[in-house]
Chain A
Amino acid sequence: MDLGTRQLIDRYFTGLGLIAILLMVLALVVILGPIFLTGAGAVVFRETVNRRVLHLEIFNRGNPERVTEEWVAVQGERQEVYDRLNAFNSELMKMKFSDRQQYRSDFAQTQNAVEEILGPEMEPGTMPADLLSRRPLTHERYGETRWDKTQEALHRLKYKTKWVSVDPSKPMKKTFVPRAETFAGTSLESFFPWFEENLDRFLRPSWTVYWRYWFMNSDDGFRYGGIWDEMLGTIYLTVGAILFSVPIGVISAIFLVEFAREGWLVSTLRMCISSLAGVPSVVFGLFGFAFFIATIQVSENRSVLAGSLTLALLVLPTIIRASEEAIRAVPHTFKEASLSLGAGKWRTILTVILPAALPGVLTGIVISMGRAAGETAPIIFTAAVSQGSTPWGWDFLGESTKCLPFSAYYLATAPAHGSEINYMRYGMVTTLVTVVLLLNATAIILRAHIQRKLRG
């Protein structure tokens, strides 16, 4: 090949490598982008008046006088909606039977859609909490609480879905028919554009930053409130795992660096540690169940203690490796100076080597925390549950717990109303990823700090 072609190929080759790296960056953006964008909606969003009333009545948050006043005012505004619907209803009653049949189901759907948005119709002056006996589920009492979800509900009000079969051999196609069309020629035809125009008068949306999302328990099947239970459970498990694994890991690292002489024993130990690092996480879960729960019975069933122990085993190799590296990186002169001053071996290790190696050890600990917080498979059978509350008090060790990764898994796959609580589950994953990435960022910063120090 002549030189020109070789250079051309060389340039293309470089380009291919760059494309590979770009694809990697792209994958990161494509995966995290949608999760973070939707997840931010759990905290920053436009709330409706329904939500302010809900928070007053269920979580006891907000100014009672102002919210009640606002609620009464909004009820006054909404009266017009009910008047128009009732007017059409009486119009319907006067119609011939065949005409009435034509409108009846559509009218019922319209009423339902309006109720979905505004909440059930109630006497002026009453609050949604008064409906408790008639409608025990929270979401049946309050209507739409978020403006973005209101828009979706509005779409359901304005259009009815129709499955059209274009070609009998292919699956039917989903189309939307404006509901106003079905009511053409009646008094309800003008209701739909009017309702949409005046919707902000009935709901009074306003921007809010719901920072309590992280510090409140959830309510009514994860629809309202926040993720404090899950956060707390994750903290229990992570801190527990670190408490169990750090002493063992650091002592093992000290032994491997300072005491052990290279030989078959140490190479076997090392081989075992690297094998432990490669064990699939679900096998840790199986082992945790079979050993900690079924054999030595740290608890009857899933518990924080069993989960922490399993996770501790999972992060142990990471901690040993990081600590080993950090201890090895301490300059020999430190040790020699300390020994020559008359300090014993352990005194040297505890007062000279470990403090010098501390940033490196911390890096390992922080990375392990990120790993322990995010792992799901090991805790499915050893610690995590999706329902119930996280124990708060001294007896938490023997109790099962909710936690972020497992609840995120549960909400993504299990509940039937999953798509209704997108903000909740995306917010949960966003929180989890943010926590893990922050921990990793801390580790990266620590490592940079160490490198700078080593360079002088």
Chain B
Amino acid sequence: MTSTVQGVGGGSNGQNGSRGDEYLSSLRDAKPHLLHSKTALWAKTISAIFSWGIPFLITAIASFSVLLILLYMVKDSLPFFFEEVTVGGEEALRFSTARVAEFFTHKHWEPNTGEFGSLAIFYGSFMVTFCSLIIAVPLGVAAAVCLSDVLPFWMRQTVKPVIEVLAAIPSVAYGFFAILVLAPLLQNQGGLFLAVVFWAIGLPVGLLLVAILSAMLNQALPKHLRSLGKVVAPILFGLIALGLLYLGGSALYGVKIPNGANAFNVSLILAVMVLPTIVSVSEDALQAVGREMREGAYALGSTRAETILKVILPAASSGVLAAVILGAMRAVGETMVVLMAAGNAANIPEPFYSVFAPIKTLTATIAGEMGEAARGTPAYYVLFAMGMCLLVFSLICNLISEWVLRRQRALLKGA
């Protein structure tokens, strides 16, 4: 043993030679018939089990744990949908359509007194998801376009970490910001905040619209008026845009927000949290479109904006759709921000679009009421029913987004 170690370590020729001789002699002594014996077959099977079977088993456990999760959500939510009834002196469980109907269509959520109408909670989840996507999708797609087609390489390398950091910040930190910084700000200076945000977004968009509209107007004019139109049209439209901005801004300035913990606050924060997902998935989709299409569009004389809007975005539309779906999934599943800053009121706001009303979402209900619900009561099982709804929603979203992405890949390959 020692000599072998030395032989390998020292690497002297003599010792290596003697090792080779040993190996040859051992080959000579080997009994070929052993390979076909029963023992060898056993050894082969066992080694196959160890080298293939166990890794396969572990992989299967890891992968199918999602099915286990689904199983447990279903198993623990079933008692909520079943009722104990006495049929002929025997107690039996019967599927209760009344419970299901109450759960999905009623608005009264009082688990302590046995009212489990979760419509308002479902609506709350829908509302914050919808609002956050309204904010995040245009921003995210614009940023993705900018990242993939506009920025030079070195700037892309500096912006990418920003996105990664936004994605990495723990959700409890976002919730912390929402409830301790943003909520007081909205409550005390809500109007000012809204007006500033409105101007910050409205001004660049307004300028773009003015440019497009005045160009369109100019084309409609007869030729001898065009030189005049070039000056007058931008001024005219600019004044209109400024007026609209002023009106909108001052209307928003007058808004008083009674409670800073509301759907608007949460939607803003969720939008920031969803942005990284939307940006990175749609950027991948835009990158996948490929050079040829871009070069083709440029060769036909289109500008960069036209190339992006008329060629690349349509080609990548399904990828962008996948990004939106994944974003929605993240927004629906987000817990801590809505638990901390959504106001926790299980009501449908009056009117239904009023974003400054406190709401409650599925995730916040689960996280907030799991501690109080006693095991084995309907108040406990109903939370699992909500969990099941969340899980099924995310699984469906996941399947759709994968299908969409695969289809886009196939389409692009075909083109």
Pick the contact of B211: A12, A405, A444 (CB < 8 A).
A12
Contacts of A128 in B (CB 8 A): none
Judging by beta carbons under 8 Å apart, are B55 and A251 in contact?
yes
Judging by beta carbons under 8 Å apart, are B63 and A412 in contact?
no
Judging by beta carbons under 8 Å apart, are A380 and B370 in contact?
yes
Judging by beta carbons under 8 Å apart, are B63 and A283 in contact?
no
Contacts of B402 in A (CB 8 A): 271, 274
Given contacts A16-B142, A252-B63, A259-B55, A413 and B366 within 8 Å (CB-CB): no
A66 at the interface (CB under 8 A from B): no
Given contacts A16-B204, A436-B170, A25 and B162 within 8 Å (CB-CB): yes
A401-453 interface with B by 8 A CB criterion = 405-406, 408-409, 412-413, 425, 429, 432-433, 436-437, 440, 444
A290 at the interface (CB under 8 A from B): yes
Judging by beta carbons under 8 Å apart, are B170 and A433 in contact?
yes
B152-175 interface with A by 8 A CB criterion = 159, 161-166, 168-175
Q: Which of A27-35, A76-84, A182-190 contacts B (4 or more CB under 8 A)?
A: A27-35
Judging by beta carbons under 8 Å apart, are B387 and A276 in contact?
no
Cα A282 to Cα B337 in complex, Å, equals 12
B40 at the interface (CB under 8 A from A): no
B60 at the interface (CB under 8 A from A): yes
Number of interface residues of B (CB under 8 A): 96
Measured between C-beta atoms, what is the minimum distance from B43 to chain A in Å? 13
Measured between C-beta atoms, what is the minimum distance from A6 to chain B in Å? 5
Judging by beta carbons under 8 Å apart, are A432 and B63 in contact?
no
Contacts of A227 in B (CB 8 A): none
Judging by beta carbons under 8 Å apart, are B62 and A320 in contact?
yes
Greatest chain B CB density within 10 A among A9, A256, A316 is at: A9
B133 at the interface (CB under 8 A from A): no
Given contacts A19-B204, A255-B56, A276-B65, A24 and B303 within 8 Å (CB-CB): no
A399 at the interface (CB under 8 A from B): no
Greatest chain B CB density within 10 A among A13, A370, A375 is at: A13
Cα A444 to Cα B279 in complex, Å, equals 18
Judging by beta carbons under 8 Å apart, are A23 and B59 in contact?
no
Contacts of A252 in B (CB 8 A): 55, 58-59, 62-63
Contacts of B353 in A (CB 8 A): none
A164 at the interface (CB under 8 A from B): no
Q: Which range contains the number of A residues in contact with the other chain?
A: 35 or more
Cα A20 to Cα B205 in complex, Å, equals 11
Contacts of B65 in A (CB 8 A): 276, 313, 316
Contacts of B151 in A (CB 8 A): 21
Given contacts A13-B208, A286-B387, A376 and B370 within 8 Å (CB-CB): no
Pick the contact of A24: B162, B181, B333, B399 (CB < 8 A).
B162
Contacts of B303 in A (CB 8 A): 6-7, 9-10
Given contacts A12-B211, A279-B391, A281-B333, A377 and B165 within 8 Å (CB-CB): no
Judging by beta carbons under 8 Å apart, are A255 and B58 in contact?
yes
Judging by beta carbons under 8 Å apart, are A409 and B55 in contact?
no
Cα A102 to Cα B225 in complex, Å, equals 81
Measured between C-beta atoms, what is the minimum distance from B217 to chain A in Å? 11
Judging by beta carbons under 8 Å apart, are B366 and A286 in contact?
yes
B194-226 interface with A by 8 A CB criterion = 204-205, 207-208, 211-212, 215-216, 218-219
Given contacts A12-B207, A252-B62, A269-B60, A376 and B139 within 8 Å (CB-CB): no
Given contacts A286-B384, A294-B375, A437 and B59 within 8 Å (CB-CB): no
A5 at the interface (CB under 8 A from B): yes
Judging by beta carbons under 8 Å apart, are B139 and A345 in contact?
no
Judging by beta carbons under 8 Å apart, are A1 and B215 in contact?
yes
Given contacts A8-B211, A274-B402, A35 and B146 within 8 Å (CB-CB): no
Judging by beta carbons under 8 Å apart, are B367 and A282 in contact?
yes
A248 at the interface (CB under 8 A from B): yes
Given contacts A24-B162, A291-B68, A16 and B391 within 8 Å (CB-CB): no
A307 at the interface (CB under 8 A from B): no
A136 at the interface (CB under 8 A from B): no
Judging by beta carbons under 8 Å apart, are A374 and B170 in contact?
yes
Interface string of B370-391 (1 = CB under 8 A from A): 1100010000000110010011
Contacts of A456 in B (CB 8 A): none
Name which residue of chain B comes closest to A273, CB basis: B63
Cα A425 to Cα B336 in complex, Å, equals 16
Given contacts A377-B335, A405-B172, A413 and B142 within 8 Å (CB-CB): no
Contacts of B306 in A (CB 8 A): 6, 10
B330-385 interface with A by 8 A CB criterion = 332-336, 339-340, 363, 366-367, 370-371, 375, 383-384
Judging by beta carbons under 8 Å apart, are A5 and B211 in contact?
yes
Cα A329 to Cα B335 in complex, Å, equals 36
- The contact sample of 14 A-B pairs, CB cut-off 8 A, is A9-B215, A13-B304, A13-B305, A248-B62, A252-B59, A254-B55, A272-B63, A283-B387, A286-B387, A287-B69, A376-B170, A433-B169, A436-B169, A437-B168
Top-5 shortest CB links A-B: A374-B170, A280-B333, A17-B146, A5-B215, A20-B142
